Chains A and B, each alone.
Chain A
């Protein structure tokens, strides 16, 4: 209610040009939101209703579609996605921040080379490494396990994360480190007790960017995992669709469940969106 009121008083201030621009913004917002709204609405319809009345709200709201989707496999994919995403985040945070610490606190030729290697790593695309990686995972005996996703995900996210964390670490004053060293603090102590707690904002950004990536990754997910039991949401949804045939309502419910966590994350973090992106804008 408040919003509408706001917009009204707004209109007078905008003038003719401003109003046209405002209409453009609204139309584009509808282009984005309507399909999503349709997805949620149709997820509570029966097959017949989806087929015969495309635009209407459901006559009977079938919340049971959600229970059915959850029971028929989404729960399983969901848990796998959570495990893979959390493991990837943990790995990236620990390994990435350790490396960033070295890259920001020491100076030598070796460090420079390492920095360049990191930037090069960022430019390598998953597509190019796909086949050798597939063969490698088989040789290591971890193909078709969750590790087959977690390890490559960590590796692919490391270069960007290291560069992000490093640039933040560089801004921490040298004096803090020096006085800690005087007090007999080891390098690892400085890393774990000073640098990490002081860098929460950038670690937070890293967590979010990694979460979006790991939750949604598709190419590796369909190739490195064969068994349905281990699939994550993006690849699992493909099996889900094939198994359901015409139970569209249930499929749509599964899609909504899959999209929800990241949309909630976005809503919660909307204030940090621009800042987070400005820190991570080199590559998505």
Chain B
């Protein structure tokens, strides 16, 4: 009897955790696959099996093309701004000459990360406001008034205006990840480079970048994955991807299909597309972690 409880012991410790994971993560994931073969509404009990119909509709859905294009735009711009700018800011802040002021800038740059996205989006709806907006007023102030426009009201500028908000919020997060990686670089490497007469710029390219190579991959994957899941910004700023569908993303499209048009089955199929894209990225990331550990 004692023996049995002994081997059962670890599982008792794990039971609450895996119960939670099973009910609220794995079960819904499986359920979503099943749901995608049905046609059903949120509030009616009838479900009809429709086979691959939902996926056939996917292929003819023009909104998906717009949504995926926006997600890809998001990904490209985010990698440029967050990974590239984040890396540079981190390198500057980690330089010895800024040692005293670095903590101040670090906290300032990180501030938007801890502010709720709804506060940030509401703030930017003021900034982009055609009349009182800071952006248009600033452009007028510096004599570029001709560039002023209703940023969120035009289908040509809305996607980029929305993407810009995400950059403003997230650069600090990626920057901190780079700082974490840079603080693990052995100081001797820089000392040796200095003795060899390498300039600061040279040190950045020959020491810093190779040393944080893995973090560059990880942050790139994090930002691309994040870009595929964007929901909050277009939902709040352009009231669900407007004008028209110009700034819609996959997650917003899924939300609207499910909860606005009440086509739950179709929304489940859309969720599978999102899942497939992010799962591939996640597998790459796991693979990376494994190869990193063997080094």
Contact = CB atoms under 8 A, between A and B. Distances in A.
B42 A25 contact: no
Contacts of B285: 123
Interface stretch (A58-66, A175-183, A198-206, A235-243): A235-243
Interface in B121-136: 122-124, 126-127, 131-132, 134
A265 B124 CA distance: 23
Contacts of A54: 132, 134, 137
B176 interface: yes
A101 interface: yes
Interface in A49-69: 50-51, 54-55
B35 A33 contact: no
B21 A121 contact: yes
A261 B117 CA distance: 14
Given A17-B200, A127-B229, A108 B275 contact: no
Interface residues of B, number: 86
A261 to B, nearest CB: 9
A111 B137 CA distance: 60
Given A106-B10, A237-B118, A28 B89 contact: yes
A228 to B, nearest CB: 15
B120 to A, nearest CB: 9
Given A117-B18, A131-B264, A155-B25, A98 B13 contact: yes
B219 to A, nearest CB: 10
B17 A158 contact: yes
Contact of B108 (A33, A38, A110, A187): A33
A263 to B, nearest CB: 6
Secondary structure dominating the interface of B: helix
A99 B137 contact: no
B177 A281 contact: yes
Interface residues of A, number: 99
B98 A22 contact: yes
A263 B17 contact: no
Given A132-B35, A187-B9, A263-B115, A28 B109 contact: yes
Interface string A223-266: 10000000001110110010000001001100100110011011
A281 B16 contact: no
Interface in B222-271: 222, 229, 231-232, 236, 251, 254-255, 258-259, 264, 267-268, 271
A238 B274 contact: no
Q: Is the interface of A mostly helix, strand, loop or mixed?
A: helix
Contacts of A42: 126
Interface in A131-183: 131-136, 151-152, 154-156, 158-159, 162
19 contacts: A6-B100, A17-B200, A25-B93, A36-B123, A54-B137, A98-B14, A98-B17, A99-B13, A110-B11, A131-B264, A131-B268, A136-B31, A151-B20, A191-B13, A219-B232, A266-B110, A271-B103, A274-B176, A284-B222
Given A96-B17, A274-B183, 17 more contacts: A25-B105, A54-B132, A54-B137, A106-B10, A121-B26, A129-B32, A131-B267, A152-B24, A155-B24, A215-B116, A234-B119, A238-B236, A255-B119, A262-B115, A270-B103, A278-B183, A281-B180
Interface of A: 6-7, 10, 13-14, 17-18, 21-22, 24-25, 28-29, 31-36, 38-39, 42, 50-51, 54-55, 94-96, 98-99, 101-103, 105-106, 108, 110-111, 114, 117-119, 121, 123-125, 127-136, 151-152, 154-156, 158-159, 162, 187, 191, 212, 215-216, 218-219, 223, 233-235, 237-238, 241, 248, 251-252, 255, 258-259, 262-263, 265-267, 270-271, 273-274, 277-278, 281, 283-284
